[in-house]
Amino acid sequence: MSLQIVILAAGAGKRMVSQTPKILHCLAGKPMLAHVVDIAQQLNPDAIHVVYGHGGEQIKNALPGLPVHWVLQKKQLGTGHAVLQALPFIPPEALVLVLSADVPMIQSATLQALIQKASGALGQAAPLALLLATLDNPKGLGRIVRDSTGNIAAIVEEKDASVNQKQIKEIYSGICCVQATDFARWLPQLGSNNAQGEYYLTDIIALAAAEKTPILSLCTEDVTEIQGVNNRLELQRLERIWQRRQAEQLLLSGVSIADAARIDVRGELVCGQDVSIDVNCVFTGRVELGDHCTIGPNCTLSNVTLEAGCQIFANSVLDGCQLERDCQVGPFARLRAGTRLANHCKIGNFVETKNAVFGDESKASHLSYLGDVTLGKQVNIGAGTITCNYDGVNKHQTLIGDGVFVGSDTQFVAPVKIGANATIGAGSTIRRDAPPDELTLTESRQKTIVGWKRPVKKKD
């Protein structure tokens, strides 16, 4: 049987108070819609249809590679109307799973169990299966109305519910699994005579009950996975739940975390054994930390690979770089994209690198900018050294051979090449290649001006 997934993403999201469509707001660094699509892909569907409306072009431009079929809902007339827009693109024999783009923590195992119910994999064929939950405070959610025999008879939205119906604790999550042929029969029958003047998808339940169609349900125990996001407060609450769970998984896998409430994983964090992470660290993209790596407080790592034994000291920022074994970075260092450090290298405080390649045991201990540069082995970069790599139009390379010693306050005006074991005198501006094994420096003769006086502030 073909599985088709419809993700409802057309809402305006006014309560976010934002020019950005609600479903583009991020959970753990990724738009909510992208989270739901990722889960949908885990179910191996034949197609994923995203029904969009408000901010449609902005959504499509923000997620250009999303593997979905976009379906426009020109007028937002309700959830039933939204599914109807996708129906022409769905084969009649398909099973249709309906998800919401603002429910980003739904789990694939839960959805797989719901699909099994709807497809009859659990022993009873049923064209309709609902994901439900029981809440102590069901405010704002559709209530499950059952008949005298306990069968589901209808779903009543809160704005249309009676006083007694509002006391019901059993709610509908907004997620259902329905045969496409049944959608094709029921959706055109929906009316908009309700408090919101919309075509509710939930009204198909009463139609199914009237036809005596079996209605199965699955109740989730983890109500977080069906939590919808309507405003930034709700999104922030989910963010902390997400991050807490990430921290707990890391702790159980053997990672030491100074405070599980003060770590943010906004991508994929892969750790070896005996890794230690201090407070207020942020990991984005894919980050790999080898055995015995330590990350100091207030560090940000994005798309970084650290081999075993690396130490990142406080307040350092690493982005798009690779470090081999036993490197030390920081505090207050910034390693930008293209930085590669071989074994036993050191980057000290207030050093910035970009497209910088360090050979084994090379170091820049403090106060330097090293961009578009290749260093050999055992190079020492003195404080205040910079590579002048940009001429206003193009970038140029600086090449520094093995064993070079660079004195403090040196400027390399690229392109320039420094031979192996050369020494560069402090305060030099190097504009031409320097030979190996020699001392090269640029000298400005020191002089004393006898009788010179400092300026004195004039009296009023």
- Surface-to-core class of residue 54, CB atoms within 10 Å of its CB (0-12 exposed, 13-18 middle, 19+ buried): middle
Distance, in Å, from the CA atom of 94 to the CA atom of 16, rounded to the nearest integer, reads 35
- Long-range contacts for 182-187 (Cβ within 8 Å, ≥24 apart)? 182/127, 182/128, 182/208, 182/213, 183/83, 183/84, 183/87, 183/90, 183/96, 184/87, 184/92, 187/80, 187/83, 187/84, 187/87
* Residues β-bridged to residue 439: 423
Pairing status of strand 423-424 against strand 405-406: parallel
Contact call for residues 152 and 172 (beta carbons, < 8 A): no
* Residues β-bridged to residue 155: 144
3-class secondary-structure state, position 117: helix
* Closest C-alpha among 344, 347, 349, 353 to residue 378: 344
The catalytic residue among 35, 49, 81, 366 is: 366
292 is catalytic: no
Q: Which residue has the tokens 């009204």?
A: 203
Amino acid at residue number 195: A
Distance, in Å, from the CA atom of 363 to the CA atom of 348, rounded to the nearest integer, reads 8
List Cβ neighbours of 386 (8 Å cut-off, separation of 6 or more).
Answer: 368, 369, 370, 410, 411, 412
- 50 secondary structure, DSSP code: E
Catalogue the active-site residues: 366
